């Protein structure tokens, strides 16, 4: 019974002498592998060479400071709400007198933790943040660790360093000129 006319008749011809001798096929195979011997390698020697990240790569998070070196985060919790993986937790606190140089808003995050094992690096926290405080850096990944709790990043590892030489714009390291300009503004 023929249901469709797409069926193809497979013609199984008897093998020719060259096919039965098997040697031509072997030499063909050998030439193919020899060609690959001299081809450009598909892999890189990883820790020494890294492949370039794409321009919109979303990597390890950073909590930004403003141009005066104050933490931008106001612990509103929007990032935690928007996070589909529920990786972010924070505890909000009120800014005391004399801490104006440390925190930009009157409310700030006493603790701010991101679990990198849960995080899916979707970037929704970055989208949600009204204070432009959290960014996913385009050139850093969460590195592998031996212990589970080492993947819970606290403020000590998330907040941007104070020194302008170590600061970055969206995760990309500042050039010396940019750092000098920033230093002039802070002091």
List binding-site positions for [4Fe-4S] cluster. Answer: 73, 76, 79, 83, 119, 122, 125, 129
**Among 4, 5, 16, 33, interactor with another protein by CB under 8 A:** 33
Nearer to another protein, 17 or 184 (CB): 17
Please report how close the Cβ of residue 140 comes to another protein at its closest, in angstroms. 24
Please report how close the Cβ of residue 16 comes to another protein at its closest, in angstroms. 17
Length of the chain: 187
Binding mask 34-53 for another protein (x = CB under 8 A): x-xx-xxxxxxx--------
128 burial (CB, 10 Å; 0-12 / 13-18 / 19+) is middle
Place of tokens 């990043």: 153
Please report how close the Cβ of residue 26 comes to another protein at its closest, in angstroms. 7
Alpha carbon 44 to its chain centroid, in Å, reads: 19
If phi > 0 it is left, if psi is from -120 to 50 it is alpha, else beta; for residue 10 that is beta
Piece of 29-37, 55-63, 66-74, 101-109 that binds another protein (CB under 8 A): 29-37
Piece of 22-30, 89-97, 101-109, 138-146 that binds another protein (CB under 8 A): 22-30
141 burial (CB, 10 Å; 0-12 / 13-18 / 19+) is middle
Asked if residues 89 and 81 have their Cβ atoms less than 8 Å apart, the reply is no
Give the bridge partners for 172, in sequence order: 169
- Footprint on this chain of another protein (rule: CB under 8 A): 26, 29-30, 32-34, 36-37, 39-45
């Amino acid at each position: 019974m023929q249901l469709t006319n797409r069926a193809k008749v497979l013609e199984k011809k008897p093998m020719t002498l060259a096919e039965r001798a098997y040697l031509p096929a072997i030499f063909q195979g050998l030439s193919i592998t020899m060609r690959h011997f001299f081809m450009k390698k598909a892999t890189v020697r990883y820790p020494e060479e890294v492949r370039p990240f794409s321009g919109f790569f979303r990597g390890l998070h950073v909590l930004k400071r403003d141009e005066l070196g104050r933490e931008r985060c106001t612990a509103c919790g929007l990032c935690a709400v928007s996070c589909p993986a529920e990786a972010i937790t924070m505890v909000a606190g009120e800014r005391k007198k004399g801490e104006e140089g440390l925190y930009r808003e009157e409310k700030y995050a006493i603790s701010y933790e991101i679990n990198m094992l849960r995080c899916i690096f979707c970037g929704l926290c970055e989208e949600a943040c009204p204070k432009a405080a959290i960014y996913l850096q385009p050139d850093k990944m969460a590195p592998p660790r031996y212990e589970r709790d080492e993947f819970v990043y606290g403020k000590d590892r998330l907040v941007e360093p104070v020194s302008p030489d170590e600061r970055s714009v969206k995760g990309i390291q500042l050039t010396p000129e940019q750092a000098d300009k920033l230093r002039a503004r802070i002091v």
